[in-house]
């Protein structure tokens, strides 16, 4: 079949909207019509050339939501018409890593996903005679995509696609880090470095966990009001701090934070996040709508990256 997609032909180049060929689902695979997809910093990391695993040409995107339009032989967990979210960290439930129950990083799926292909070692996308690589097993910058059955999660049919697509990465990454990984307890003091899409969801997760002080650290003063919407109690702009930032945060948290979250990916910030912590201490509603700051069609996808670089968006969503 033919489908419109935004292709990354080479590192550092704008995405190009083209019509590509997409083979149908094979055994154990699902064909999904994407209705919406978020544009994440991880997509930009690969597009920019910073990703050591980046492959080109590729169809990026991993934060989507859509409808199952066809299934391959053997598929039993979903059917045509089901609404789903693609999963970029699926679990085969059979490899050593999955059976260990110590990690959600499936060794089997990573063996092919990191190479830009399906579990059988081939790509479903092509442009003319050239193979086009998949991305994070999802490729949601295409109107249609094929995924392994284990890489889709069924959702309610009344959930709006342009909102729930964000659950595929940003929401679950931030809130999951607080609730599932750190297991923040009520009354804890939390510091969050970086109030972007991930950081704001960490703030939201800390609020849901019942944290006491939730301190957001960001150079962008416009993030103060946003952070407060999600439960942030204190805002710190490093440019306005006299003296050492770590010492300031230690004082603000009465001896050091119980938990700190570095949501930027900066090595220096990671050190500060560690040093500001306390020595020796090693049905709720999730707000999504305020995090979706911009919506646009696929033709405008490069504008989403511009907004990201300008710091004026939290999450831009592409609708099909």
Provide the pLDDT for residue 267: 65
**Choosing from 106, 165, 263, 277, which is the catalytic residue?**
106
More confident residue, 276 or 17: 17
pLDDT 10s digits, 37-84: 999 999 999 999 999 999 999 999 999 999 999 999 999 999 999 999
Active site residue 98: yes
How would residue 287 be classed by pLDDT, with cut points 50, 70 and 90? confident
How would residue 280 be classed by pLDDT, with cut points 50, 70 and 90? low
Question: Beta strand 190-193 with 259-262: parallel, antiparallel or unpaired?
Answer: parallel
The boundaries of every CATH 3.90.180.10 domain in the chain are 2-168+290-319
Mean pLDDT confidence for 24-48: 97
Active site residue 110: yes
Active site residue 62: yes
**Choosing from 37, 46, 63, 83, which is the catalytic residue?**
63
Average pLDDT, the chain: 93
**Choosing from 91, 98, 124, 173, which is the catalytic residue?**
98
Distance (Å, whole) CA 305 – CA 226: 20
Q: What is the dihedral of CA 160, 62, 267, 262, to 10 degrees?
A: 20
Active site residue 169: yes
pLDDT 10s digits, 171-224: 888 999 999 999 999 999 999 999 999 999 999 999 999 999 999 999 999 999
CA nearest to 229, candidates 242, 216, 239: 216
Q: Does residue 288 surpass a pLDDT of 90?
A: no
CATH hierarchy code of domain 2-168+290-319 = 3.90.180.10
Nearest 5°: the CA angle 138, 106, 71 is: 45
- In the three-class reduction of DSSP (H, G, I as helix; E, B as strand; rest coil), residue 33 is classed as strand
Specify whether the CB–CB gap between 7 and 20 falls below 8 A. yes
Active site residue 42: yes
Specify whether the CB–CB gap between 30 and 148 falls below 8 A. yes
**Choosing from 9, 41, 278, 294, which is the catalytic residue?**
41
pTM for the whole structure:
0.86
Describe the crossing of helices 245-252 and 267-275 by its angle, rounded to 10 degrees: 40
The boundaries of every CATH 3.40.50.720 domain in the chain are 172-275
Distance (Å, whole) CA 319 – CA 317: 6
Active site residue 315: yes
**Choosing from 4, 9, 110, 278, which is the catalytic residue?**
110
Provide the pLDDT for residue 272: 74
**Choosing from 3, 29, 37, 40, which is the catalytic residue?**
40
Q: Does residue 278 surpass a pLDDT of 80?
A: no
**Choosing from 44, 92, 228, 294, which is the catalytic residue?**
92
Q: Percentage of the chain surpassing pLDDT 90? A: 84
CATH hierarchy code of domain 172-275 = 3.40.50.720
**Choosing from 95, 112, 233, 275, which is the catalytic residue?**
95
Provide the pLDDT for residue 66: 98
Provide the pLDDT for residue 1: 97
pLDDT 10s digits, 237-255: 999 999 999 999 999 999 9
């Amino acid at each position: 079949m033919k489908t419109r997609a935004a292709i990354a032909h080479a590192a550092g180049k704008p995405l190009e909207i083209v019509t590509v060929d997409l083979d149908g689902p094979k055994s154990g695979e699902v064909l999904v019509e994407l209705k919406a997809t978020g544009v994440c910093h991880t997509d930009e990391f690969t597009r920019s050339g910073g990703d050591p695993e980046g492959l080109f040409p590729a169809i990026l995107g991993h934060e989507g939501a859509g409808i199952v339009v066809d299934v391959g032989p053997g598929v039993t967990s979903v059917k045509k018409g089901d609404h789903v979210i693609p999963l970029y960290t699926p679990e085969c439930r059979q490899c050593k890593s999955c059976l260990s129950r110590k990690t959600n990083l499936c060794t089997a799926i990573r063996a092919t996903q990191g190479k830009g292909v399906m579990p059988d070692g081939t790509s479903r996308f092509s442009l003319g005679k050239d193979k086009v690589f998949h991305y994070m097993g999802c490729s949601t910058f295409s109107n249609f995509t094929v995924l392994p059955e284990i890489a889709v999660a069924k959702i309610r049919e009344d959930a709006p696609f342009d909102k729930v697509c964000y659950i595929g990465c940003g929401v679950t990454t931030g809130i999951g880090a607080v609730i599932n990984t750190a297991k923040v307890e009520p009354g804890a003091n939390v510091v969050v470095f970086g109030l972007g899409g991930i950081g704001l969801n960490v703030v939201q997760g800390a609020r849901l966990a019942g944290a006491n002080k939730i301190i957001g650290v960001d150079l962008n003063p416009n993030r103060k009001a946003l952070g407060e919407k999600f439960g942030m109690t204190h805002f710190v702009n490093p440019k306005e701090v006299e003296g050492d930032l770590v010492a300031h945060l230690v004082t603000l948290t009465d001896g050091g934070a119980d938990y700190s979250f570095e949501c930027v990916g900066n090595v220096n910030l990671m050190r500060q996040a560690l040093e500001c912590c306390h020595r020796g201490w090693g049905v709720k509603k999730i707000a999504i709508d305020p995090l979706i700051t911009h919506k646009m069609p696929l033709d405008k996808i490069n504008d989403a990256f511009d907004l990201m670089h300008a710091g004026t968006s939290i999450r831009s969503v592409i609708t099909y």
